[in-house]
Amino acid sequence: MERRIDELLDMVEEIYEYIDNIDDSLIRQIITLRYVSGLTWEQVAASIGGK
């Protein structure tokens, strides 16, 4: 179980690194809001000022 937790933590770290390396700041913000913060698409749109 501990090995699996370590593997998952490594994956999370890789995901954050991938997101941090997205050049377009708007896309980076959208991805973070949707997949890290868990907002709905409607909440993401409202957060970035869209409809």
Distance CA 27, CA 14 (A): 18
Phi-psi region of 38 (alpha: psi -120 to 50; beta: other; left: phi over 0): left
Element (H, E) at 39: none
Looking at residue 19, its pLDDT comes to: 96
Write the pLDDT tens digit of every residue in 16-39: 999 999 999 999 999 999 999 999
Distance CA 38, CA 23 (A): 21
Looking at residue 24, its pLDDT comes to: 97
pTM for this one? 0.77
Q: Is the confidence at residue 50, as pLDDT, over 80?
A: no
